[in-house]
């Protein structure tokens, strides 16, 4: 702990100007509208997040990619149909998934200053409940993926519905990833099923020791 404190203050001293700017910025944002207000600010201007957080690759893929982060901004349109013009059509922004209580800010500052983190960031394992906050439940998903034949030509048979599988209601994260390609878990046994951009057949559980 002592060593951590020493590390922390030495970091602050070495980055006097930056630290001052950050403190002033935080104070200013919080001063304008309190915590709720600043959350609104980060909703309207998600590019502000990248100013301080080490999230460039994720911010880039959220801005345009084949991954779920970008697809969450399309409001039902396909990637091809979408033209990115500013942030007006971005309906899911960083803070919608990466919500944090205020005290987390200080924990993160501490971890950053004391070097207690990895870069690139460790993949966050999101919980299924987070998805169902918007996507209702499994029955709803089953109806959404009832006719995948046209989009995915490699399906083993017509009517193949990955949300209605013999495994039942498994965690979303088994297949879906947000800032990287999603995983074709069915391909473990059934050959390629979900193909095309945004999918990979590199199933992790096949690569475990």
Partner 1 sequence: MNSTPKKQVKTGSPSAAPNEPRISRRDFLKGAAVVAGASALVACAPAVAPTGAPATEVPQEWDKEVDVVVLGTGTASLAAIVAADAGSKALLLEKGPVFGGHTAISGGGLWVPNNFVMKKKDIKDSREDALTYIRKVSEGRTPDELLVKFIDTCNEMIDYTVKNVGIDTYDSGTQFSDYYPDSWPGHSSNPRFITPKGSGAGLIKYMKDAIDARASKIEVLLETRGLRLLYDGDSNAGTGQVIGVVAQAATSGKEMLIKARKGVVIGTGGFDHDKEMSNHFLRAPIYYTCSAPTNTGDGHRMCMAVGAMMRNMNECWGLVAYNVKDDLTGVPDWSLERGKPGTIIVNKHGERIGNEAAAYEIFGRAFSAYDTGAAEWRNIPSYTIFDSGYTQHYPLPGSGYKVGVVPDFFKQADTLEALAGQLGINVDALMATVTRFNENARNGLDPDWHRGENSFESNTSGDHERTDVKNPNLAPVETGPFYGTAIWPGTLGTNGGPRTTVNGEVLNVWGKAIPRLYVTGNTMASVFGGQYPGGGATLGPGFTFSYIEGKHVATLKPWDAA
142 touches partner 1 by CB under 8 A: no
Question: What is the distance between the alpha carbons of residues 110 and 9, in angstroms, rounded to a whole number?
Answer: 10
Q: Which of 127, 103, 106 is nearest to 23 (CA)?
A: 106
Number of residues that bind partner 1 (CB under 8 A): 45
Q: What is the number of alpha carbons within 13 Å of residue 53 lying toward its C-beta? A: 18
DSSP 30: H
The least CB distance from residue 159 to partner 1, in Å, is: 13
> Of 12-20, 62-70, 84-92, 121-129, which segment contacts partner 1 by CB under 8 A?
121-129
Element (H, E) at 38: helix 16-44
117 touches partner 1 by CB under 8 A: yes
- For residue 184, give every residue at least 6 positions away whose Cβ sits within 8 Å of its Cβ, in sequence order, or none: 175, 192, 193, 194, 195, 199, 200, 201, 203
Nearer to partner 1, 54 or 134 (CB): 54
Unique residue bearing structure tokens 């697809």: 71
The least CB distance from residue 147 to partner 1, in Å, is: 19
Nearer to partner 1, 78 or 119 (CB): 119
The binding site for partner 1 (CB under 8 A) comprises 49, 53-55, 58, 94, 97-100, 104, 107-108, 111-112, 116-119, 121-127, 130, 156-157, 166-168, 170-171, 173-174, 185, 188-189, 203-206, 208-209
């Amino acid at each position: 702990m002592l060593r951590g404190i020493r590390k922390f203050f030495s970091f602050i001293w070495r980055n006097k100007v930056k630290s001052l700017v950050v403190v002033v910025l935080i104070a200013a944002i919080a001063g304008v509208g309190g915590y709720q207000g600043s959350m609104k600010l980060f909703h309207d201007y998600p590019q502000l997040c990248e100013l301080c957080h080490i999230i460039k690759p994720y911010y880039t893929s959220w801005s345009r990619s084949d991954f779920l982060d970008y697809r969450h901004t399309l409001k039902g349109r396909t990637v091809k149909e979408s033209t990115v013009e500013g942030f007006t059509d971005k309906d899911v922004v960083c803070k919608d998934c990466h919500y944090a209580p205020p005290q987390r800010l200080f924990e993160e500052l501490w971890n950053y200053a004391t070097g207690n983190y990895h870069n690139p960031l460790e993949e966050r394992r999101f919980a299924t409940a987070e998805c169902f906050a918007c996507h209702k439940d499994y029955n709803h998903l089953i109806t959404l993926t009832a006719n995948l034949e046209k989009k995915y030509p490699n399906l083993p048979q017509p009517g193949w519905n990955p949300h209605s599988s013999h495994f039942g209601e498994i965690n979303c994260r088994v297949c879906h990833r947000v800032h990287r390609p999603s995983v074709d878990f069915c391909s473990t046994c059934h050959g390629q099923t979900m193909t095309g951009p945004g999918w990979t057949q590199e199933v992790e559980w096949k690569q475990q020791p």
